[in-house]
């Protein structure tokens, strides 16, 4: 059996993967681009804090870069022309470096976002004490560390040719972008080190999410204090607060689930590539690797497409503005202007019944004065009642005067 035919997908598979990758690429570009725009709109109108906005923009940017750098090259080199001629050694090195850096920037941005939310929810006083440059430092740390992780690939990868063969078949001299045999130890160390970092981030985010969920599930406690300084127990939680807490818990759980399901197959594929040198690969191992390659990369790119959907699922306000941006028609009001309008509407609703009651009381008192009979002994009590009504009316009018 020709080993070159083992790694070449069938034509139907190529068509299916092309359609799937195209849909994912368009969806991911639109979703992450709109996410950046929505987060900026929400921040400008007072619905998002600056630190949360910066994390969301950084995460969406890394997802965009992963899709734009990885998917077109993947579609060409791994699906339509596998193990074909590479464009050049330098371009191969730059591609592997950029793709690795952007990929790990995504997971490290998730880690820094989870860490900041963990401190804000579980240690609010410590969160307030930290300086305003905390968010910028975390985002910078995530991007710098991701570049350091990808740096060995500038040396350990390049264009080289090798296809596994059996003893009775000739050597296939095909050049493709892969890890270099002369830098095998460095490549192995880089892949295994990146996997260890992935597991550390995954476990850390899972523990932080667990701690945040435990805090969010506790009954809401009032932070108001009485005159004696003793904390008062909170009243019953509103339905809006309960719904917001459930949405936060759902969002945190989905982040951990997406990291595990979408990244783990790709990590297994990378470990297969670093576990055994390509010169020692058997045909069965090579065939398994090629099959896993398509599935693992599809799930990996899916993780960059899912984040905008997670934002829409966890926040009604984000979902509304997301649709407004897609329709190119923003109708969102600033949070202060909206609160003022709501308070004015609430005041008018509360003053309405009082005004109607005062008018009815005034009409009733006037009718009583007009129909009052001549003063006799028998009607003295009624007259006294009318006078008391007039007095009550005068007091009511005096009370209803606007105070300065």
Residue at a domain's end among 310, 332, 354: 332
* Confidence (pLDDT) at 335: 64
360 against 53, higher pLDDT: 53
Check if the beta carbon of residue 258 is closer than 8 Å to that of residue 300.
no
Q: What is the mean pLDDT of residues 121-137?
A: 74
Please list, in sequence order, all residues whose beta carbon lies within 8 angstroms of the beta carbon of residue 256, skipping any fewer than 6 positions away.
Answer: 202, 205, 206, 209
The domain of 341 spans: 336-399
Residue 253 shares a structural domain with residue 145: yes
The answer to whether position 160 is within a domain reads: yes
Residue 142, pLDDT > 70, answer: yes
Q: What is the mean pLDDT of residues 285-312?
A: 87
Residue 389 shares a structural domain with residue 245: no
Prediction pTM value: 0.73
Residue 323 shares a structural domain with residue 341: no
Please list, in sequence order, all residues whose beta carbon lies within 8 angstroms of the beta carbon of residue 328, skipping any fewer than 6 positions away.
Answer: none
With H, G, I as helix, E, B as strand and everything else as coil, classify residue 74. helix
Residue 193 shares a structural domain with residue 296: yes
Taking only Cα atoms into account, the Rg of the chain, rounded to an integer number of angstroms, comes to 34
* Confidence (pLDDT) at 243: 59
Rounded CA separation 25/389 (Å): 78
Residue 272 shares a structural domain with residue 379: no
Residue 269 shares a structural domain with residue 374: no
Residue 159 shares a structural domain with residue 46: yes
The answer to whether position 228 is within a domain reads: no
Q: What is the mean pLDDT of residues 308-324?
A: 85
Q: What does the block give as tokens for 23?
A: 């849909």
Residue at a domain's end among 332, 356, 376: 332
* Confidence (pLDDT) at 383: 37
The answer to whether position 362 is within a domain reads: yes
Give Dmax (Cα) for the chain.
134
Residue 94 shares a structural domain with residue 204: yes
The answer to whether position 127 is within a domain reads: yes
In the chain, the N- to C-terminal Cα span, in Å, equals 97
Residue 321 shares a structural domain with residue 342: no
Q: Which stretches within 221-282 are classed as H helix?
A: 239-275
Q: What does the block give as tokens for 7?
A: 């790694």
The answer to whether position 229 is within a domain reads: no
Residue 148, pLDDT > 90, answer: yes
Rounded CA separation 284/6 (Å): 9
Residue at a domain's end among 301, 332, 363: 332
> For the chain, how many structural domains are there in total?
2
The answer to whether position 203 is within a domain reads: yes
Residue 252 shares a structural domain with residue 364: no
CATH number at residue 27: 1.20.1070.10
User: What are the pLDDT digits (tens) for 71-110?
Assistant: 888 887 777 766 555 456 788 888 889 999 999 999 899 8
The answer to whether position 404 is within a domain reads: no
The answer to whether position 376 is within a domain reads: yes
**Which residue, chain included where needed, has tokens 């300086």?**
131
User: What are the pLDDT digits (tens) for 229-266?
Assistant: 444 444 444 555 555 556 666 776 777 788 888 889 99
Residue 300 shares a structural domain with residue 377: no
* Confidence (pLDDT) at 115: 87
Residue 77 shares a structural domain with residue 125: yes
Check if the beta carbon of residue 255 is closer than 8 Å to that of residue 208.
no
DSSP-assigned letters across all residues of 340-400: HHHHHHHHHHHHHHHHHHHHHHHHHHHHHHHTPPPP-STTHHHHHHHHHHHHHHHHHHHHT
């Amino acid at each position: 059996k020709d080993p070159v035919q083992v790694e070449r997908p069938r034509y139907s598979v190529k068509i299916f993967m092309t359609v799937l990758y195209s849909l994912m690429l368009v969806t991911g570009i639109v979703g992450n681009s709109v996410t950046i725009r929505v987060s900026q709109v929400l921040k400008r109108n007072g619905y998002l804090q600056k630190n949360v906005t910066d994390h969301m923009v950084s995460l969406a940017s890394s997802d965009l870069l992963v899709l734009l750098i990885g998917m077109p090259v993947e579609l060409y080199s791994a699906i339509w022309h596998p193990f074909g001629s590479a464009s050049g050694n330098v371009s191969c090195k730059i591609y592997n470096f950029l793709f690795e850096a952007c990929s790990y920037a995504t997971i490290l941005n998730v880690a820094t976002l989870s860490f900041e939310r963990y401190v804000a929810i579980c240690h609010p006083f410590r969160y307030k004490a930290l300086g305003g440059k905390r968010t910028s430092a975390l985002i910078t740390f995530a991007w710098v560390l991701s570049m350091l992780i990808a740096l060995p690939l500038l040396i350990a990868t390049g264009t080289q040719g090798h296809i596994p063969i059996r003893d009775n078949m000739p050597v296939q001299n095909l050049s493709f972008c892969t890890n270099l045999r002369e830098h095998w130890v460095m490549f192995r160390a880089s892949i295994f080190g990146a996997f260890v970092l992935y597991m550390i981030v995954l476990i850390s985010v899972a523990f932080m999410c667990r701690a945040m969920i435990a805090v969010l599930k506790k009954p809401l406690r009032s932070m108001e204090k009485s005159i004696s300084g003793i904390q008062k127990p909170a009243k019953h939680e509103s339905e809006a607060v309960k719904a917001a807490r459930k949405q936060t818990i759902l969002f945190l759980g989905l982040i951990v689930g997406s990291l595990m399901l979408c990244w783990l197959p790709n990590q297994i594929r990378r470990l297969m590539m670093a576990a055994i040198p390509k010169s020692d690969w058997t045909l069965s191992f090579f065939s398994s690797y090629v099959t896993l390659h398509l599935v693992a990369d599809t799930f990996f790119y899916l993780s960059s497409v899912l984040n905008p959907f997670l934002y829409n699922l966890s926040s009604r306000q984000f979902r509304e503005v997301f649709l407004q941006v897609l329709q190119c028609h923003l109708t969102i009001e600033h949070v202060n202007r909206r609160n003022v309008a709501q308070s004015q509407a609430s005041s008018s609703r509360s003053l309405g019944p009082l005004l109607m009651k005062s008018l009815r009381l005034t009409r009733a008192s006037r009718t009583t004065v007009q129909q009052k009979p001549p003063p006799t002994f028998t009607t003295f009590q009624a007259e006294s009642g009318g006078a008391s009504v007039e007095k009550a009316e005068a007091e009511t009018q005096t009370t209803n005067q606007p105070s300065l």
